[in-house]
Structure 1
Amino acid sequence: MSRAVDSDTPSDGVLPVTLRAIDTRNWQTCIHLELEPEQARKLASNLYSLAEAYVEPRCTPMGIYAGVQMIGFVMFEWHPATHTYSIPRFMIDRRWQGGGYGARALQAIIDTLKGEQPDAPILISLTPDNMPARRLYERLGFVDTKHRLHGEDVLRYA
């Protein structure tokens, strides 16, 4: 798989992963990120998610970047009544999957949220048959709550 590499690429070839706000400069890039067809059936589109964030102020959409390239999307929500975060959307573009970017992106998300509210649990959900996502989430410390919401298993990071 060929990836564009900028001049700031470390010698190990792994680009740093950062989160950046979705705004007028990058929203179109965001809506053109792609999943494999089977994955796309399990997750709302980025376009839908941006529309949701527009009308739901508790939603925060962010681009996931490897170096200067947007490679994914996340949307998280703060729930003040329960003092928890939830991550209803998380995706890495199909062309960037398999290189460890999903794990580094999720860790960047965890670090960002814990930096804002260190004691707040983080919830993420997935369809019961999404074993690759489950393995990733559990590897990074999420634990299955044994609770199901809207047909999806809910995992918790404390």
Structure 2
Amino acid sequence: MNDIYVTAINDTNEYLVKSIKLKPGQEKFIETIEECLEEAKLDSQWRPVMIQSKENIVGFAMYGSFGPNKETWIDRIIIDRDFQGKGLGKKTMLKLIDIITKEYDVKEIYLSIIEGNEIAYNLYTTIGFVYTNEKDPNGERIFKYTIK
């Protein structure tokens, strides 16, 4: 996890993440980075971040905490197609979990998965996310990670 760095995205560095690309077929599982950044600008509770490994920009993620119960979500995570399959998704998720639990002082983190995204499903369940038997308004399955 020490080779993963998370940097907040702002007006001076957001252009760096706009070059991140998905593998063909993955675009049906996640919004574009431009859409994510626009959503974060409209709702300041979202934290868009750039994921780096060594000197490389390898991905993008977005997380936030909402409401009186501080329901905390990892809403987006994208690893660039050139860096997929190298364990960086798992390292990034573990790093984000660590950051989020400290930043928000929470014991539960949520995320959702679009039906058919088996790579994400396998990654998240391997880490310890568990299906809550609920779906979000878009029909995505909601998973929860409980900090032990």
**Could you state the TM-score of these two structures normalised by the residue count of structure 2?**
0.92
Say if 1:143 and 1:155, in contact at 8 Å, map to a contact too: yes
Rounded to whole Å, the distance in 1 between the matches of 2:53 and 2:12 is 17
Q: Render the CA deviation track for 1:91-122: whole Å, top value 9, x for unaligned.
A: 10010000000000010000000112333411
- Structure ID, larger Rg: 1
State whether structure 2 residue 137 is matched by structure 1 residue 152.
no
Rounded to whole Å, the distance in 2 between the matches of 1:120 and 1:15 is 23
SS of aligned partner of 2:20:
coil
Q: Percent identity?
A: 27
State whether structure 2 residue 63 is matched by structure 1 residue 76.
yes
Per the TM alignment, residue 15 of structure 1 is displaced from its structure 2 partner at its CA by: 7.5
Gaps of 5+ in 2: none
Tell me the residue number matched to 1:9.
none
Q: Render the CA deviation track for 1:108-154: whole Å, top value 9, x for unaligned.
A: 00000011233341111111211111110011111111111112111
Question: Residue 87 of structure 1: which of 74, 77, 83 is its match?
Answer: 74
Gaps of 5+ in 1: 1-13
Rounded to whole Å, the distance in 1 between the matches of 2:63 and 2:106 is 16
Aligned length: 145
State whether structure 2 residue 61 is matched by structure 1 residue 60.
no
Per the TM alignment, residue 64 of structure 1 is displaced from its structure 2 partner at its CA by: 0.6
